[in-house]
Structure 1
């Protein structure tokens, strides 16, 4: 499955027409329970880590919004994949966690990524205990954007994601580039990088000009995705 996901991500990076990448799942039991424990054995772990982590390197290079739709368990590598998406929506029944510590290992992606999105204290708590938390708690600490009831879940998700779909694709991409550029920089460096992307990238698009003109003329913008 990981190899297939990597192939899809390569295609997504090359496709200039996509507005959003959504990770969803069949059924209502699990988004993903993570990598097979057997793949952590000495003769298989190196290849597993290489293939698994390649997914996140690809995701970091994708400039359209990435979304995880969770309606069930999201554990281990599944939780890492979920958390790495730009937007996460979950049903009220969903349970989320990193249980690797129980089998004597730790989740490298979560160890690198969680401190940036939920802070050190919660990272230590989740990774050192391996406990599962509810979707509501995940929302409260910043792992999940929105939680909806199980009944009508799909309709709620579609409505929520609709707010992202009626925007200019290139402006969304430039915005995401600016956000990512500052992840490993201090504020002044991040601001400098964001200014360059804003002036040289975003403001050079037809949609930026259209958006400003539409606002000044008190009309609805007509995006050209250019």
Structure 2
């Protein structure tokens, strides 16, 4: 059974994990459905951004379904391989992704946050990587966290398993924004509105050049970004954006990709 619902409205492709009784843990079948729907959203010209949200406000997601680990006789490969394919699909997706974190976020949920383009969290939520308590070595966070929070804080988070607040996560750069819980919906809508106002092609190019640059040396990343900037400058997007600014009107991006 897929424990998620999918919908498109007002330019936003929504993915809502609906398994509140299990702290919105994400099972294998649901991961597969999300991967498939992400590709559908990418191909849908009406979808300008993808929003991850979950049922209730106690947990954003506790990560994977531990009962499946037992069912698999503690064989982690199918479990982790499904996460790997989901996260790869997220970062290679042309469409920007946003997560609304309104409850505690642990384990695979923490990794989901690391692979989402823009994360908006309530200041008081708990975010952490407690897998050390389960005798598990997480295979995403050790590679990704040092570049974000530094070596010492990475070791603190992973060795103690202690969570931090959404506010602290924003200070460390783990999430993009943290606001009081009663302002979370408004802040998420502000992010989505901004994304919808921009050229989908330019958003896609920016996203890809940023992620690709993380795998290059600083000088190579700079050269790569310069090349992409020149390529897009030869297209219609800069002309439309500059002319719209000078004419004091909203740009029209209807011809993206033409």
- Deviations along 1:15-38, one digit per CA (max 9) or x if unpaired, are 344211111111111110011234
Query: Partner residue of 1:161?
Result: 192
1:86 aligns with 2:117: yes
Structure 1 stretch displaced more, 127-136 or 105-114: 105-114
Q: CA deviation at 1:224?
A: 1.8
Unaligned runs of 5+ in 1: none
Comparing both structures, which one devotes a greater share of its residues to helix? 1
Q: Distance in 1 between matches of 2:97 and 2:191?
A: 14
Q: Distance in 1 between matches of 2:191 and 2:227?
A: 31
Structure 1 residues 111 and 221: alpha-carbon distance in aligned structure 2, compared to 1, 3 A threshold: same
1:8 aligns with 2:37: yes
CA RMSD of the aligned region, Å? Answer: 1.8
Q: CA deviation at 1:11?
A: 2.0
What is the TM-score normalised by the length of structure 2?
0.80
Which of these residues, 194, 203, 206, is aligned with residue 236 of structure 2? 206
Q: Distance in 1 between matches of 2:41 and 2:247?
A: 36
Structure 1 residues 24 and 111: alpha-carbon distance in aligned structure 2, compared to 1, 3 A threshold: same
Q: Distance in 2 between matches of 1:16 and 1:198?
A: 23
Q: Distance in 1 between matches of 2:188 and 2:67?
A: 34
Q: Secondary structure of the residue that 1:64 maps to in structure 2?
A: coil
Query: Partner residue of 1:197?
Result: 228
Structure 1 residues 115 and 15: alpha-carbon distance in aligned structure 2, compared to 1, 3 A threshold: farther
Aligned pairs, how many?
224
Contact 1:98–1:127 (8 Å) recurs in 2: yes
Query: Partner residue of 1:69?
Result: 100
Contact 1:82–1:88 (8 Å) recurs in 2: yes
- Deviations along 1:175-212, one digit per CA (max 9) or x if unpaired, are 11221221111111111111221222x22332221112
Q: Secondary structure of the residue that 2:81 maps to in structure 1?
A: helix
Q: Distance in 1 between matches of 2:107 and 2:220?
A: 33
